[in-house]
Amino acid sequence: MTRYPVETIEAATAGDEAALEALLKLAQPDIRRYARRSCKYTSDVEDAVQETLFVLYRHIGALRSTAALSSWLFTAVHRFCIGLAKRLVTLDFSGVEPQSLFGTAEPPSYALRIDVAAAIQSLPTHYREVVILRDLEEMTMHEIATKTGITKDAVKARLRRARALLREYLEEE
């Protein structure tokens, strides 16, 4: 089953500009989420999103099955992210100190991860759900509102309150 209306995909494949535009709008949040997970560098996410949207626009007619759209998009995003990461390999960094290229921040410690997990677990269920959907699953406010059956404003309020509770919990540690 696809997340996109079959009629919209078929119309876009047939060359309907309005359907193609609607499909691009529907696909963009998913493409962005795929890119956040696939790209090695956060600076490459927007480039991968734009390139994938362009490929979708140019090659939607080559889509063989409406059910394959999600996997097709994921594959395109993944390939763009790999290509963007490889471009650094071809650059000449001779004579440049490694410390100037990369941050010196240490990865989060195991103890910090345990503390954050405990803080999230301590939240009331309705706050925990919103934090997990937004910060871990990287869903949009609209997607969270649809999934939970509450308004976008309620999602924002719960997320704000949940983050405040998390800060309080972690500051006490």
Question: How many whole angstroms separate alpha carbon 21 and alpha carbon 136?
Answer: 29
Q: Which two tokens stand for residue 7?
A: 């009629």
Residues 82 and 113 in one domain: no
* One domain, residues 77 and 114: no
Under 8 Å between Cβ of 46 and 28: no
- Assess whether 13 and 80 both reside in one domain: yes
Instruction: Read off the pLDDT of residues 52-108 as tens digits, 9 standing for 90 and up.
Output: 888 888 888 887 787 888 888 888 888 888 887 776 555 555 665 555 555 555 566
Residue 69 domain boundaries: 6-86
Where residue 114 sits, what CATH number does that domain have? 1.10.10.10
pLDDT digits (tens, 9 = 90+) for 133-169: 888 888 889 999 999 999 999 999 999 999 999 888 8
> And the tokens for 164?
């405040």
Count of structural domains, the chain = 2
Those residues whose C-beta lies under 8 Å from the C-beta of residue 123, and which sit 6 or more positions away, are: 131, 162, 165, 166
The pTM is what? 0.49
Kindly state whether residue 135 falls inside one of the protein's structural domains: yes
